[in-house]
Amino acid sequence: MSISLSIMRSNFIVSLFALLCLHLCSGAASLIVPAETGYLEPDMGGARISRQGGIVNWKDHATQIQWYGNFKNVGNLKVRLQVRGRDEGSVALKLQVGSEEKRRVVNIENNKEAEVDFGAFEITEPGYLPIALKRIPSQDADATALDIIQLELDGESVDKAHFNLKPRRNAASVHLVYPVMENVKVAAFYCEMTALEDPVHSYYMACGWHRGYFGMQVNSPTERRIIFSVWDRGTEPTDPNKVDEMDRVRLVEKGDGVFTGRFGNEGTGGHSHLKYPWKTGSTQKFLVTATPINDTHTRFTGYYHHPDSLEWMLISSWDTPGEGGYMRGLYSFSENFVGSNGHLIRKALYGNQWIVQPNGNWIELTSAKFSHDPTGKEDRLDRFMGLEKGHFFLSHGGFVDGFTDYGAVFQRPATGNQPSGTPFKPIK
CATH (domain of 333): 2.60.120
In a domain, 280, yes or no: yes
Candidate from 14-28, 34-48, 97-111 with smallest mean pLDDT: 14-28
Statement to judge: residues 312 and 368 lie in one domain: yes
Mean pLDDT of 288-297: 97
Statement to judge: residues 147 and 77 lie in one domain: yes
Q: Give the confidence band of 25 by pLDDT, cuts at 50, 70, 90.
A: very low
d(CA 121, CA 115): 17
pLDDT, residue 28, reads 60
Q: pLDDT averaged over the chain?
A: 92
In a domain, 51, yes or no: yes
Statement to judge: residues 250 and 152 lie in one domain: no
In a domain, 87, yes or no: yes
Statement to judge: residues 149 and 128 lie in one domain: yes
In a domain, 14, yes or no: no
In a domain, 418, yes or no: no
pLDDT above 70: residue 20: no
In a domain, 20, yes or no: no
d(CA 358, CA 183): 12
Statement to judge: residues 373 and 238 lie in one domain: yes
d(CA 53, CA 47): 13
pLDDT above 70: residue 164: yes
SS3 assignment for the chain = CHHHHHHHHHHHHHHHHHHHHHHHHCCCEEEEEEHHHCEEECCCCCCEECCCCCEEEECCCCCEEEEEEEECCCEEEEEEEEEEECCCEEEEEEEEECCEEEEEEEEECECCEEEEEEEEEEECCCEEEEEEEEECCCCCCCCCCEEEEEEEEEEHHHCCCEECCCCCCCCCCEEEECCCCCCCCECEEEEEEEECCCCCCEEEEEEEECCEEEEEEECCCCCEEEEEEEECCCCCCCCHHHCCHHHCCEEEEECCCEEEEEECCCCCEEEEEEECCCCCCCCEEEEEEEEECCCCEEEEEEEEEECCCCEEEEEEEEEEECCCCCECCCEEEEEECCHHHCCCCEEEEEEEEEEECCCCCEEEECEEEEEECCHHHHCCCCEEEEEECCEEEEEECCCCCCCCCCCCEEECCCCCCCCCCCCCCCCC
Statement to judge: residues 205 and 132 lie in one domain: no
Statement to judge: residues 347 and 213 lie in one domain: yes
In a domain, 48, yes or no: yes
pLDDT, residue 228, reads 98
Q: For residue 273, what are the domain limits?
A: 174-411
Q: Give the confidence band of 22 by pLDDT, cuts at 50, 70, 90.
A: very low
pLDDT digits (tens, 9 = 90+) for 178-208: 999 999 999 999 999 999 999 999 999 999 9
Cis peptide before 42 (omega within 30 of 0): yes
Cα–Cα–Cα angle for 142, 88, 43, rounded to 5 degrees = 55
| Domain end call among 113, 141, 163 | 163
If one counts the domains in the chain, the total is 2
CATH of the domain at 149: 2.60.120.260
pLDDT above 60: residue 421: yes
pLDDT above 90: residue 237: yes
In a domain, 134, yes or no: yes
Statement to judge: residues 60 and 141 lie in one domain: yes
Statement to judge: residues 155 and 182 lie in one domain: no
| Domain end call among 105, 136, 163 | 163
Statement to judge: residues 340 and 200 lie in one domain: yes
Statement to judge: residues 148 and 205 lie in one domain: no
Q: Give the confidence band of 111 by pLDDT, cuts at 50, 70, 90.
A: very high
CA 28 to chain CA centroid, nearest Å: 32
| Domain end call among 130, 163, 196 | 163
Statement to judge: residues 129 and 188 lie in one domain: no
Candidate from 44-48, 74-78, 297-301 with smallest mean pLDDT: 44-48
Mean pLDDT of 247-257: 98
Note whether 343 and 400 are within 8 A (CB): no
